[in-house]
Structure 1
Amino acid sequence: MSPTLRLPTGVRPTGYSAELTLDPTQPTFQGVLDIDLDVKETTRTVWLLGHELTVKEASLTVGGVPVAVSQVKGTGDFLGFQPEAALGPGPAHLRLVYEGVLSEREVSGAFRALEAGDWYAFTQFEPLGARRVFPCFDEPGFKVPWQLTFHVPAGLTVVTNTPVVSQEPGGEGGTTWRFARTQPLPSYLVAFGVGPFDFLEAPASGEKAVRTRIVTTRGRAAEGAHAARVTPGLLAWLERYFGVPYPYEKLDVLAVPLFQGAMENPGLVTFNSELMLAREEEDSVERQRSFYETQAHELAHQWFGNLVTMQWWDDLWLNEAFASWAASRAVADTQPSWDEPLTRVGARSRTLTADSLLSARRIRQPIQGEDDIFNAFDGITYGKGAAVLYMTEQWLGPDVFQRGARRHLRAHEHGSATASDFIAALSAEAQRDVSGVLDSFLEQGGAPLITARLDCSARVPEVELTQRRFLPLGSAGGTQQLWKVPVCVRHGTGARAARACTLLETETARLPLPEARGCPAWLEPNADGAGYYRTSVDARMLSRLLSTDSRHLSRAERVALLGDMRALVGAGAMPAADALGLLPGLAGEKDLRVFQSSLELLELMKPSLLSEPRQADRQRFLRDTYGARARALGFTPRATEDVDTRLLRPLLLELAGKQGGDPRLTAEARRLTERWLGGDTRAIDAELVESTLATAAAWGDAALHARMMTALSAATERKRREEILGALRDFHQADLVQRNLGLLLEPAVDLREVWRLLFGAASDVRSRDVASAFVSKNYDALAARMPDEQVAYLAAVASSYCDPVHRQETAAFFTERMTRAAGGPRSLALVLESIDLCIAFKAAQGPSIESFLAAPRRAR
């Protein structure tokens, strides 16, 4: 009988040897795979996982004696190999000869891409892509060595997880590349690339001085200079933190076109090419920081995820949350001027918003089907997991937490582990059981709202703390839910401040403030924004916090407070107009991170909430509030300005120009865009290319659109094409949007490059009907062209709707279709719940928002 989700445990691999014959110009490849097996118990069928693979020969050997074997097709991706008689316990060997697909549709498994006239092959195996290349035990708990050999056309180079052992002429004028055996790896961490690569040597990395290279498509090695400079230092910091040298023999960092994000494959980290590469004269602070932060995440995985791997996908957070937490810690320590602690608090607030949905996952969501595996790669696993780890670190103390992480790595080196193993290591170092706190956040969805009320009736002032689940307006959930929450409050009078902490385990508790001198003048219930919870204080205390924030609240607390105010409006605990009234005062905020956090409040007046007359009022508000500052900064950076000013400029251009339609800004954006399209790419500062082109497009016409389409057709460089495609997303006129969307169906166009045009249209209230109608008409054609793992995104075309009619139409159209898409049911549930909550919020807070926008106010 076929397995349905997980492989049986009666047969396990002990090692793989694979030979792949591969030509990136061809749509298929050939493979020969030898698997050494350990048969644990008498077995009738050896089950593997394979997808779109054609097994041509299968042979089984037991004790050196061939055993006849027949193929059995199981359900889904399960492939069975049945010997003529049951296998008894002991070693065995399975050899498979097969053929697979080198896809031009996917960005998982092995896929190919045409880059500047050259064909390349790349891989992305996490989570279920390895089975597209190898018929194997494709689960994270099966962690064994791999030895890879490649037969490729002459002139091409192969890179994979380990160093080259030999390179010699092969058959038909090709080359055979043999690579060293890997350390024990699960299948999803195997990786390779084939093509005419260029290499940039970086300084050797780590205690063992491993060879480190930046690997690029032909002609782009020089663009990897920044990656080469920063990678060794990041690796050194992580070695020091974890107390374990980098565990692998080399470190190649490979730029991959069309790939999104990055992947931590040991020895061969892969990156989206435009995130990783840039010419020095076209580089930006934003790109460099994004690469640095992402590289910190991927390198942290070399310990949490690679050296110690999760046992099963329900513990993906052990990889991703820990890598996100470690990346934040590394950036904070190595780049203190970047204000990473404030970035972390802002990210925590956005995660809390996503976590307020009933359809949101738990961090440790049970895996009941493949959909749950795909859904696990979301903001809950990464963002909530990282925020909970940070809260735990602050509760236990950084030294205790570090010792716990090191203990965990030592105990499970080159093996697999579970959440219980990690919690046990922390508990051993903390000398107390920490499972109650961690499990309360790992095993249930949502987050607490902590209400803090100051009580000065006794000799020692106290804070009455109450917890319940935070839920937004319109939620059908119940608030009676408890966590074990480490809570720290800060309080003070005048210039004196103090802190008091407790572990809140019950619905209500009282926290004494023994260091208070008299009744505190102010109280902040989440000291430095370290806790993963929302906060609420009474109106009088909130007024004090808002009026004294510059003197008493830390910068992190100001960021947390703004996020909590946005949430309280969303829960109906505060009129929207009261929060929006803060924006004019915050528009001149000199602290970049606080300014960025204030923009959360702008979501209260997003266009989908507004009537037609108020759309123009919203644009006027943005011009009046942010226009003067944007115009003063202009489009040209000054030699004396600081980095924060450079990062502020595109934000203001987005607000006052692209969204607000400030005439001076839009005219200048159009003028510069015309020059840029005419070949003067230095007409726009590197930091402003995206925002300038987007502003011009948002207020552009058919003539500008035609120029951009012509430029796209002529552009061969990936970076230039991505910049133009990004701008095309911002046109909103129906006929121009239709032309954009037509690209998604053109056979000669690579859908992997252009599919975001659809979601640019869907996110704009002026063009969302065009996008929705396009998907309704062409769903089957789009689903057939899109990567399998991205088909579920099609439901997101309805995300900006906020009315019952479109909610009903969305459910009717997508419900059955999403059952056939990877991760589709939960993706649709998130969309439908978001629409429901938007409807409820609009009914409750819409009048307050509209009256705020309609009120006359003096131009700034």
Structure 2
Amino acid sequence: MGRLRYLLTALFLVAGLAQAEPAPLGQLPDTAQPLHYHLQLRVDPAAKGFSGTVEIRLRLNQAADHLWLHAQSLQVDKVGLRDAQKRSHPVRFAPHGDSGLARIDFGSTLPAQEVLLSLEYRAEYNSQLEGLYKTVRAGKPYIVTQMEPISARRAFPGFDEPRFKTSFDLQLDVPAGAQAVTNTAQTEEKTLPDGWRRLRFRTTPKLPTYLIALAVGPWDIVEGKPIAPTRWREQAIPLRGIAPAGEGARLKEALEATPAIVTALEDYFGYPYSFGKLDLLAAPDFSAGAMENPGLVIFREALLLLDANTPAYLRQASFEVNAHELAHQWFGDTVTMPWWNDLWLNEAFASWMEGRITENLRPAQRADLRRIQGAQKAMAADSLASARRVRQPIGDNGDIEGAFDSLTYGKGAAVLGMFEAWLGENVFRNGMRQYMKKHAFASATSDDLIDALAEAADKDQRLGKAMRSFLDQPGVPLVSSELQCSDGKATLKLSQQRYFPAGSQGDAQQRWGIPFCVRTSKAGVAATQCQLVDAATSTLALDGGCPDWYLPNAQARGYYRVTLAARDMAALTQAAATLDDREQLAFADAVKSGFERGDVDAATLLAALGQLARSPTREVALALQEELVWIRRNLAGAAARRAIDDYVAQLYLPRLEQLGYLRRTGESEDDALTRAALAELLGRKVDNVKVRAALLEQGKAVLAVDGNGRLRFGAANYDMLGTVLAVTVQERGAAAIDALIAELARNNDASLRTTMIMAMGATTDAQQGERVREFAISDAAKISETGRLLGIQQYEPRNRAALWTWFQRRYAQVVAHTPVFLHGNLPELVSEGWCDEGQAKKVAEFFGRDAAKVSGTAQGLQRADEAIRLCAARKQTQGTQSLQRWLQARPAAP
């Protein structure tokens, strides 16, 4: 008996030690490798939840008595395991708290072999647009999925990491009358005794779990014209559009645009679209803009449902987002990063390719300028000392969710474009093709890409070192330049360090391998020279003698900021109007970055604004408008604000009046976009009385309801509708908000709903502000709408104090009513625009308490705190003297 007790005690201790093994942080251990999933789901959109069975054929890579996998918010009712000899083993499923991890205990140690793991489970539909979630449109329920980055575990137990690329067989049981789609084409349908339908679909290619997608509901399914065979592909690709009930006709434009995008991508990669069919689905509510699920790309519905009233910006965005998601069919879907630290391999490539495709197929959309704007937005974020690396180590789920930011997208794309310009387009494309063919339907890392480019370019290790300098360290380079001329020879003296704004405590002593390109002009003759700058200081001998001026970021292709010696900057400023559009944007960023650093004062910036305003190109003419608004709000007293407003009116009002306030037959999309941008600047940002009156007239016409009590949106210019309604809310107060809330209860159009939601957020009335904030977290607002309304509230300085007080009280409700990916950004949302270090302390104290438990908050708080303190430092550095000098001079508009 004593020996038996000893043995039992020993076994108990061993079991206890096994259970005490810490759960894995980050990646799962390599104990097991999934080989194939068979997933069966019973999905009723009218129900509260779903049920499922998953069988995972997997390989035990080593002898083990347990394994770890992912499962979150799932009730597992039954679990079983059969070994290679088809013997069943009693196994136990144990979720690890709310971590999303679960442990499968085998009851004994099994040798390395193939086994079949099966789990029966059930779950409620997710309420925050994750995993398998439910949304309602026009009273009808729909089921949609969003698995990226780590929400597949909310839909089925599995190995929810991108390195596990596995084939899937999917079976869906759905109610009679429901339409169901997934990544692959349907192969079989059977009517069940209860009247439900059992649908089976083709086996997928090898995919990571985050790319599995399905949708069930009363969809309109519209057949598009098949995408014709090409030299890369023998078979046509079936193309369909999928929309909520009654909306199928609005898919026409997106379906017509798609074949040319797919063909252009195949031509670039020299590799065929590989997923059999292509469906584009318009989801009634969606957390992102779109998701690149192979064979079933899911979009926020406003991006696919287009008609004659669609604003020009949304029509252009539809094409660009479509190009982005289809580029993912190669980058991300065909070749996948093994872990989230290489997310940029997905998103940066898709962003870069989106611009290339748009520029080639729709040059009027000026994707070249959009690319530069994206890079400059990323450089602004990268100027923080708290900025992360593009290839940031991923330690937990918050790190994963936080990686989807402007650095991954914008910086990554800009770095690719910079190295493409240096290596040459053909060489770069050859490297891309080699990379794609070598790693198709597998995983690849940044090193794999760099190796492919180096081989194609026949470059030595300096290429890899240079690219890694941008990927593996944070920050944006600042290149300082000074022109030296003597004895007919010209030399640029260059130095580099990390760029920081005034007041930053960051360490500037960093180095990059910068593909530096300079454009020079002498007697009207332009030239460009390039050199890899990888030392702290260096020189570049200029061809052709001493130039009249130079721009140290030719064609704005470089991901770096610049500062020129005073006399060199003066020469460039004098020539700014002769630069092309791209280089004028580079000049604008030099002014902006100098202003933030304290090297450029407010008067100089306002003068530069006047020069750029001459440009017929909208992006250039308005390039410094946010700096203008910052000066007006933070440096200017009442008299200075009036002078600035007069100056802005002189610069821009004649152009707006020439365009008029209504659409014109046959006008270009650029005219529509320019009119909308000028109306927003003049009507909302500088409160021009004349413009606001014109916008209010349209707004009053919208509020004059029709016979059914509905708003008359057609009474306004749809391209300016957001600005029209925002001004109307500010001028008409409760009456306007009453009308918008009543319309929102009956309106299902995503574009119009977003416009109304953001207009409500623009109110500056204290009582109405409280009202719309409460609306934002009510059931009347969709999950994807809450953050938009609160962001607009924060943008208006008169709302910030009240919003902050409310936010602290309602934080839990905000978290519950917003998509998970937004949670880490909430500290920044409620910090936007603050320039008070006292407020920085309040934000830090609040988010440092219970709020810090929300995933990703720590990183967002760090960025928010730094942004507030830098704004305060800039305000102190700039002071008011320069603005007073400008005010006394009263410059006339050029």
Q: Same fold (TM over 0.5)?
A: yes
Going from structure 1 to structure 2, the CA distance change for 1:745 and 1:636 (only over 3 Å counts) comes to closer
Task: Give the CA deviation at 1:199.
Answer: 1.6
Corresponding residue of 1:393: 420
Aligned partner letter, 2:121: Y
**1:213-232 map, 5 Å:** 213-232=240-259
Task: Give the CA deviation at 1:95.
Answer: 0.6
Separation in structure 2 between the aligned mates of residue 850 and residue 563 of structure 1, nearest angstrom: 20
Find the partner of 2:156 among 129, 134, 146. Answer: 134
Corresponding residue of 2:195: 173
Going from structure 1 to structure 2, the CA distance change for 1:27 and 1:689 (only over 3 Å counts) comes to same
Aligned partner letter, 2:631: M
Corresponding residue of 1:273: 301
TM norm structure 2: 0.93
Separation in structure 1 between the aligned mates of residue 536 and residue 891 of structure 2, nearest angstrom: 46
Corresponding residue of 1:499: 528
1:95 aligned onto 2:118: yes
- What secondary structure sits across from 2:562 in the alignment? strand
1:117 aligned onto 2:139: yes
Aligned partner letter, 2:810: N
Aligned partner letter, 1:723: T
Separation in structure 2 between the aligned mates of residue 607 and residue 493 of structure 1, nearest angstrom: 41
Separation in structure 1 between the aligned mates of residue 632 and residue 559 of structure 2, nearest angstrom: 26
Corresponding residue of 1:819: 852
Separation in structure 1 between the aligned mates of residue 520 and residue 814 of structure 2, nearest angstrom: 56
Corresponding residue of 1:549: 576
Find the partner of 1:722 among 749, 754, 759. Answer: 754
> Conserved in 2, the CA contact under 8 Å of 1:588 and 1:629?
no
Tell me whether 632-641 or 35-44 shows the greater mean CA deviation.
632-641
Aligned partner letter, 2:863: L
> Conserved in 1, the CA contact under 8 Å of 2:613 and 2:622?
no
> Conserved in 2, the CA contact under 8 Å of 1:17 and 1:147?
yes
> Conserved in 2, the CA contact under 8 Å of 1:630 and 1:656?
no
**1:46-125 map, 5 Å:** 46-62=67-83, 63-74=85-96, 76-103=99-126, 105-125=127-147
1:820-857 CA deviation, whole Å, 9 max, x = no partner? Answer: 11211111111111001001000011314652675474
Q: Percent identity?
A: 33
Separation in structure 2 between the aligned mates of residue 750 and residue 704 of structure 1, nearest angstrom: 20
Root-mean-square deviation (Å): 1.9
Tell me whether 282-291 or 160-169 shows the greater mean CA deviation.
282-291
Find the partner of 1:44 among 47, 50, 65. Answer: 65
> Conserved in 2, the CA contact under 8 Å of 1:676 and 1:682?
yes
5+ long unaligned stretches in structure 1: none
Corresponding residue of 1:403: 430
1:229-253 CA deviation, whole Å, 9 max, x = no partner? Answer: 1011101000000000101110000
Going from structure 1 to structure 2, the CA distance change for 1:175 and 1:856 (only over 3 Å counts) comes to farther
- What secondary structure sits across from 2:389 in the alignment? coil
Aligned partner letter, 1:80: R
Separation in structure 1 between the aligned mates of residue 688 and residue 50 of structure 2, nearest angstrom: 55
Aligned partner letter, 2:300: N
Task: Give the CA deviation at 1:640.
Answer: 5.7
Find the partner of 1:188 among 187, 210, 215. Answer: 210
> Conserved in 2, the CA contact under 8 Å of 1:609 and 1:802?
no
Corresponding residue of 2:616: 590
> Conserved in 1, the CA contact under 8 Å of 2:175 and 2:196?
yes
Separation in structure 2 between the aligned mates of residue 574 and residue 787 of structure 1, nearest angstrom: 40
Task: Give the CA deviation at 1:151.
Answer: 0.8
Aligned partner letter, 1:275: L
- What secondary structure sits across from 1:786 in the alignment? coil
**1:270-309 map, 5 Å:** 270-279=298-307, 281-309=308-336
Corresponding residue of 1:784: 816
1:768-804 CA deviation, whole Å, 9 max, x = no partner? Answer: 1111111111222332343333333332212221112
- What secondary structure sits across from 2:122 in the alignment? strand
Task: Give the CA deviation at 1:222.
Answer: 0.8
Going from structure 1 to structure 2, the CA distance change for 1:601 and 1:803 (only over 3 Å counts) comes to closer
1:438-470 CA deviation, whole Å, 9 max, x = no partner? Answer: 100000001111112111124432111111111
> Conserved in 2, the CA contact under 8 Å of 1:658 and 1:696?
no
**1:302-381 map, 5 Å:** 302-381=329-408
1:675 aligned onto 2:675: no
Find the partner of 2:472 among 428, 438, 443. Answer: 443
Going from structure 1 to structure 2, the CA distance change for 1:832 and 1:617 (only over 3 Å counts) comes to farther
Find the partner of 1:759 among 791, 807, 826. Answer: 791
Corresponding residue of 1:836: 869
Corresponding residue of 1:6: 27
Tell me whether 245-254 or 841-850 shows the greater mean CA deviation.
841-850
Corresponding residue of 1:643: 669
Separation in structure 2 between the aligned mates of residue 353 and residue 82 of structure 1, nearest angstrom: 49
Tell me whether 714-723 or 575-584 shows the greater mean CA deviation.
714-723
Task: Give the CA deviation at 1:674.
Answer: 2.1
> Conserved in 2, the CA contact under 8 Å of 1:576 and 1:848?
no
In the alignment of these two chains, the number of paired residues is: 855
Find the partner of 2:284 among 257, 263, 276. Answer: 257
Separation in structure 1 between the aligned mates of residue 78 and residue 321 of structure 2, nearest angstrom: 42
Tell me whether 659-668 or 525-534 shows the greater mean CA deviation.
659-668
Aligned partner letter, 2:198: T
Going from structure 1 to structure 2, the CA distance change for 1:409 and 1:852 (only over 3 Å counts) comes to farther
1:248-279 CA deviation, whole Å, 9 max, x = no partner? Answer: 11000010122130110000001000122122
Going from structure 1 to structure 2, the CA distance change for 1:135 and 1:23 (only over 3 Å counts) comes to same
Separation in structure 2 between the aligned mates of residue 617 and residue 700 of structure 1, nearest angstrom: 27
Separation in structure 2 between the aligned mates of residue 714 and residue 376 of structure 1, nearest angstrom: 37
> Conserved in 2, the CA contact under 8 Å of 1:608 and 1:800?
no
Aligned partner letter, 1:33: V
5+ long unaligned stretches in structure 2: 1-20, 230-234, 706-710
Going from structure 1 to structure 2, the CA distance change for 1:337 and 1:403 (only over 3 Å counts) comes to same
1:64-83 CA deviation, whole Å, 9 max, x = no partner? Answer: 11111112333622111111
1:558 aligned onto 2:584: yes
